[in-house]
Structure 1
Amino acid sequence: MRVERLGVTVLSAPLGATDTVAMSFGKLTDRRMCVVEVEADGAVGIGESWINYPAWAPRERLGTLCDGVASLLVGMEVSDPREIHGELTRQLLPLGRQWGALGPIWQSLSGVDMALWDLHGKLHGQSVAALLGGDGGRGHVPAYGSGVGPTRVAELCERAMQAGLPAVKTKVGFGAERDAAILGEARSTLGEKRRLFADANQAWNLAEAKAMCELLERHDVEWLEEPLTHDDLDELEELGADTTIPLATGENVYGITEFERYVESPAIHLIQPDLAKCGGITMGAAVAEHAGRCGTGVAPHCYGGAIGIVASLHVGAAFPSVRWIELDVRDNPLRTDVLTTPLRLDDGELAVPNGPGLGIELADTVIQHYEQYVEERTRRDL
């Protein structure tokens, strides 16, 4: 069986002025999901490629997938997603290095790889979790609420608690005074029993991070994500030696060699591959497997649409090193409305779909409502 078609659909759900998501480095003004389809032998697998930033990412992704990846992918034999992943990275990463843009290459491959695993499971009547881990492992993975702050802190903490989530991650990196207010409001709303994490989105230099850790400690923050600009491992290790707060990172790490460096570092307590960015299920599984050998926890980064979350759940089902799944508590129709059977949260844990492949179907009428760009490449028109 060989790949017959690659399809790419970009979905966009604009946010109102009060719903805009602020990060330490910029704002997210619409929710996006790049859906990748791979077809073979009458079956279609689906995946997701991360396109949150920059504003022109959807157009770049269409170009990379349909003009760059499709000419290699269409016609490939589909028996082993890992083999296709290896061949595509072998041919495309040198181009990415010359381009100076490895991120878009990895992000494009992520969507293709997810779709190939979904297709592989559908063709063989097995879930992705089962393909990765024998019997498919656990049926639920613990979740924490994210997307809290810098605005609507109390409201979003309340929403997380009402959903039964045992922990909340709040955004910081907006200046010491505002960060103190965010953390104070979050801790006051959550009380002492619920757990609090923080994400700086690479906002600080080393000296600033050391100073801010004192504030985080006072609010019982259990781990700190991406504290340092450039995410430099040497500086993270220096910071780790200076604070009692465990450090987490990984959403902007690319390549298994780099992931292994972070996983093996004593400074990194949680590694956070984003399966829609880092290379898909193949890379996520490799990171989770290595992290398990090293005793490092895994908490996949998920800040896109529903497909990436489900892919992360299947990796979490197969590998016990996965301790958390991220669940954004802000409104996002590309997470909540696009599946025929919505994600299910049971006692603070996300249920792993157990059908063939990823075990999900997209709702066509909803997809058409949010559709922005569509393009296909097949053997006939290449």
Structure 2
Amino acid sequence: MSVALPVERVRVSVLRASIDDAVPMSFGRLDARQTCLVEVLAGGLTGVGESWINYPGWAPAERLATLSMGVAPLVIGADAADPEAVLETLTRELLPIGRQWGAPGPIWQAISAIDIALWDLAGRAAGTPVCDLLAGGAATRASVPAYASGVGPTDVALLCERALEQGFGAVKTKIGFGHDRDIATLGEARSVLGSSHGLFADANQAWTMDDALAMLPALDEHGVGWLEEPLAGNHVDDLEKLAAATPVPIATGENLYGLGEFETYASSPAVGILQPDLAKSGGLTIARQVARVAAESATRLAPHCYSSAVGLVASAHLGAAFDVVDWLEVDVRDNPLRTELLSTPLGWHDGALPPPRGPGLGIELDESTVRHFRTHVEEIS
């Protein structure tokens, strides 16, 4: 039995990096790269986690308030050595508020940061990498293959070429911008990638059923390996109707919260790939549970990650612990919160990411980078 490690303090920081060109999405534009970092301090150790705050524009203010006023007070004094027990407490106390608020997503996203930080802290206290803690012993995978995302609808050829130069085995394009534009995006990507690299497509729930059916021939023509979140609403019964019309596997999960929702989608024959986002869906605790469910249901995992280096490293530890994880997602657009946030850069090799082997997540924040990009900070004790 591990020694109790009472949480003494929680630090919540919002980081924002300006970008030269807004990134188009089917539902809006990303005008800056942002993240919410949570540091949990206990026993002279610090664990770090991340909460996704890409949308909406006021997400940083909401997340700062939810974490500092709602989540952190429940964490002070809790045992950092038992992340699963802390998550159980947080969900029991806060999800009813989320239901009444009509916004369970932000609650889960806030909890996710705490959970990742607690796993990091528990690993540091035990002198063990998080991947080994997740696996219940030595993790069996030294690295996890990664695909390049963030490609399209602009700079398709440029970003595909960047992905090839960096050794990625596949590219995911953003579609959902109209039939002709989407077909052009897929064609341009395939022409750069050739036949030796995988091509995935993400519609971000932009399509009606008719839109999706009209795109099926193009998906087949360009050898698309999976179709991500094709339909508005992401309802299981609709996905099953679409899946009956195409052999292209359907991927989803970045907007699912808690184990119950993932179990529903894992049990559907329509869903081939589950994509929990560790900074949104419940952190490493829920992701580990989802990996076990996926293994039992013959579903594959490819964690969603469109945030900072912290979420990416957490995903790498999950992938090292569970061979049901096929891919990591790496946004190849410029993002200093991915490339400059850590004191030691991530060690890529042949398009795969080995999780750092130090205790916990095995990372340290570059404090000068944090100070440079930090716009808000709260300390709770």
TM-score (norm 2): 0.98
Structure 1 runs of 4+ off > 6 angstroms? Answer: none
Shift of 1:219: 1.1
State the partner residue of 2:142. Answer: 139
Q: Deviation of residue 69 (structure 1)?
A: 0.8
2:298 is aligned, of 295, 306, 309, to 295
Aligned mate of 1:227, from 223, 226, 230: 230
- Asked if 1 retains the 8 angstrom alpha-carbon contact of 2:112 and 2:282, the reply is yes
Once residues 148 and 77 of structure 1 are traced to their aligned partners in structure 2, the CA distance between those partners, rounded to angstroms, is 42
Q: Which residue of 2 aligns with 1:252?
A: 255
2:174 to 171, 174, 179: 171
Task: Indicate which of 58, 67, 75 corresponds to 1:56.
Answer: 58
- 1:73 match: 75
State the partner residue of 1:106.
Answer: 108
**1:1-382 paired onto structure 2 within 5 Å:** 1-16=5-20, 19-133=21-135, 134-378=137-381
Deviation by residue 1:222-281 (Cα, 9 ceiling, x = unmatched): 110000001001000110011111110000011211100111211111000000000100
3-state SS of paired residue (1:122): helix
Which deviations, in whole Å up to 9, do the C-alpha atoms of 1:337-361 show, x marking residues without a partner?
0101111221121111110000000
Cα-to-partner distance string for 1:26-76 (whole Å, 9 max, x where unaligned): 000100111001111111100000000001100000100000112211111
Q: How far apart, CA to CA, are the structure 1 residues paired with 2:94 and 2:354? A: 35
Instruction: Give the Cα separation in 1 of the matches to 2:225 and 2:132.
Output: 32
How many residues are matched?
Answer: 376
The CA deviation at 1:363 is: 0.4
Amino acid at match of 2:189: A
Structure 1 letter corresponding to 2:64:
L
Name the aligned partner's letter for residue 99 of structure 2. R
Deviations 1:90-120 (A, max 9, x none): 1110010011010000000000000000000
- Give the letter for the 2:19 counterpart: L
1:215 Cα deviation after fit: 1.5
For 2:79 and 2:186, the matched residues in 1 are separated by: 51
Question: Structure 2: which amino acid aligns with 1:89?
Answer: T
The separation in 2 between residues aligned to 1:272 and 1:8, in whole angstroms, is 26
The CA distance in 2 between the partners of 1:218 and 1:66, in whole Å, is 50
Matched residue SS, 2:150: strand
Tell me the secondary structure at the aligned position of residue 363 of structure 2.
Answer: coil
User: What are structure 1's unaligned runs of at least 5 residues?
Assistant: none
Contact 1:129 1:137 in 2 (8 A): no
State how far apart, in whole Å, the 1-side matches of 2:213 and 2:348 are: 36
Indicate if the aligned counterparts of 2:81 and 2:121 stay in contact, CA closer than 8 A. no
- Which ranges of structure 2 fall in alignment gaps of 5 or more residues? none
Shift of 1:81: 0.6
TM-score by length of 1: 0.97
> What's the CA shift string for 1:303-357, capped at 9, x where partnerless?
0000001111111111110000001111110000010111122112111111000
Partner-residue secondary structure (3-state), 2:244: helix
The secondary structure found in structure 2 opposite 1:231 is: coil
Q: Which amino acid is 1:326 matched to?
A: E
Counterpart contact for 1:127–1:136, Cα < 8 Å: no
The one-letter code sitting in structure 2 at the alignment partner of 1:260 is E
Whether the 8 Å CA contact 2:81–2:118 is kept in 1: the answer is no
User: Residue 345 of structure 1 aligns to a residue in which SS?
Assistant: coil
Q: Which amino acid aligns with 1:334?
A: L
Q: Secondary structure at the match of 2:233?
A: helix
Name the CA distance, whole Å, in 1 between partners of 2:81 and 2:189. Answer: 48
Distance 1:237 1:144 in 2: 26
